[in-house]
Amino acid sequence: MRKPVAALVATLFGLPVAVWPAAAWPTALRTQLAPAARVTLNGAGANSIEPFYEKVLYDYHLSHPQVTVNYSPAGSSVGVSDVQQGTVDFGDSEIPMSRQELAQAHGVVAQFPVDLGGIAVSYNVPGAPAGLKLDGAVLAGIFDGTITNWDSPAIAKVSGVKGLPHLRVVPVHRADASGPGWDLDEYLIKTSPTWSARVGTKVPSKAWPLPQVGVGAQLNSGVASYIAQAPGAIGYVEYGYALKAGLANAALKNAAGRFVAPSVGSIAAAGAHAARLSWDHFDIVFQPGEATYPLANFSWAMMYQDQHNPAKAAALRALFSYVVTTGQKEAVPLGYAPLPANAVALAKSVLGQVH
């Protein structure tokens, strides 16, 4: 039986087809390498990216029906642990795996950015305008329990809005470990000395540092739902979820001293400052610029660099190459900013190491 062209060329160079990276083959030979069998990829992780993945992964399946992708938006901590245990083909987290977490994995983990989002501080206060101005000191007081009512003089002074109702403030935090919680904790550490003193550290945490204050809710969906139903509530939630739920979002004081509300443009302005982006240099909270939203982050895909199944390796490379390029056209309508060019370049470079 005659060998396929790809196999013949691989043999001539002494390389098995399965280990020669698909990206190294000319187009015609990559076609020969395309898996004929159906492939199912299973992923789990960040809840914040779920609206984006839902649309992009569905579109990908329509054009590549032989590839089925299942994603469970169970939270970043689940994504990390599932990748460590090898129970999924890929994970997702707003905060990349740390050196300690990587050390607990069963091999080298490739991590690369797949979307750019923002963390909205959303509230439900009857009579309050959208875009209520808040700064780090006021937010720290709200989330540490020292500001208890919406007609607080501290809120009125910063927001410039008088006559807010005498309504109990209900701070809502994530009950599960999360990237959005890490981002808000980082913002408060950078903007409020009293917050750092209260939580006892200047190192942000994915686990909310004051769980005894206010109400805990699971995932972005749980926080958004609670805020929508509870007058007086305020919490942090992925901007895409806040947009979908129609929540009012605060304009936060940024590093330039301007109050900026979350939007695709202000989130993109934050991402533009990620000049040295990498898995261990990912923080874009409280970046400079008058139009920059101070609570933004990238979401990171995670997968093992060495794949035991050649068909899945090829499918993962093809899928995520689509996600970080063509799939980015879906970002804006869903409340995300398209990845900046350097983030796309980083993703392509890391994907090239998956084999």
Q: What is the pLDDT of residue 17?
A: 33
**Planar angle of CA 212, 215, 219, nearest 5 degrees:** 115
- CATH class, domain 118-296, is alpha beta
Q: What's the pLDDT band for 140 if we cut at 50, 70, 90?
A: very high
289 Ramachandran zone, left/alpha/beta (phi>0; psi -120 to 50):
left
Q: Report yes or no: 234 and 139 within 8 Å, Cβ to Cβ.
A: no
Give me 106's structure tokens.
């069963």
Q: Report yes or no: 137 and 117 within 8 Å, Cβ to Cβ.
A: no
- Rounded Cα distance between 343 and 338, Å, is 10
Check whether 189 has a pLDDT greater than 90: yes
| Residue range 190-202: mean pLDDT, rounded | 96
**So where are the chain's domains?**
40-115+301-351, 118-296
Quickly tell me which residue has 């934050």 as its tokens. Answer: 270
- Rounded Cα distance between 84 and 273, Å, is 30
**Planar angle of CA 143, 181, 55, nearest 5 degrees:** 130
Q: How far apart are the first and last CA of the chain?
A: 28
- Which residues neighbour 129 within 8 Å (Cβ) at sequence distance 6 or greater? 161, 248
- Rounded Cα distance between 284 and 300, Å, is 14
Contacts 24+ apart (CB under 8 A), 14-22: 17/310, 18/310, 19/355, 21/352, 21/355, 22/314, 22/317, 22/318
- Is 40-115+301-351 CATH 3.40.190.10? yes
Same fold across 40-115+301-351 and 118-296: yes
Signed CA dihedral, 113, 96, 334, 266: sign only: negative
Percent of the chain having pLDDT more than 90?
89
| Residue range 120-133: mean pLDDT, rounded | 97
Give me 28's structure tokens.
């015609």
Environment class of 317 (CB within 10 Å of its CB; exposed 0-12, middle 13-18, buried 19+): buried
For 242-299, write each residue's pLDDT tens digit: 999 999 999 999 999 999 999 999 999 999 999 899 999 999 999 999 999 999 999 9
Q: What's the pLDDT band for 33 if we cut at 50, 70, 90?
A: very low
Q: Report yes or no: 252 and 294 within 8 Å, Cβ to Cβ.
A: yes
State the CB neighbour count (10 A cutoff) for residue 25. Answer: 17
- Rounded Cα distance between 86 and 98, Å, is 17
Give me 234's structure tokens.
């305020």
Check whether 198 has a pLDDT greater than 60: yes
Residue 56 vs residue 10, higher pLDDT: 56
Q: Residue 211: which of 232, 181, 189 has the closest Cα?
A: 181
- Rounded Cα distance between 143 and 234, Å, is 9
Residue 251 vs residue 19, higher pLDDT: 251
Q: What is the pLDDT of residue 37?
A: 72
| Residue range 160-180: mean pLDDT, rounded | 96
- Rounded Cα distance between 321 and 338, Å, is 14
For 210-225, write each residue's pLDDT tens digit: 999 999 999 999 999 9
- Which residues neighbour 180 within 8 Å (Cβ) at sequence distance 6 or greater? 48, 94, 119, 174, 220, 236, 237, 238, 297
| Residue range 146-171: mean pLDDT, rounded | 98
Residue 269 identity (one-letter amino acid): A
For 296-343, write each residue's pLDDT tens digit: 999 999 999 999 999 999 999 999 999 999 999 999 999 999 999 999
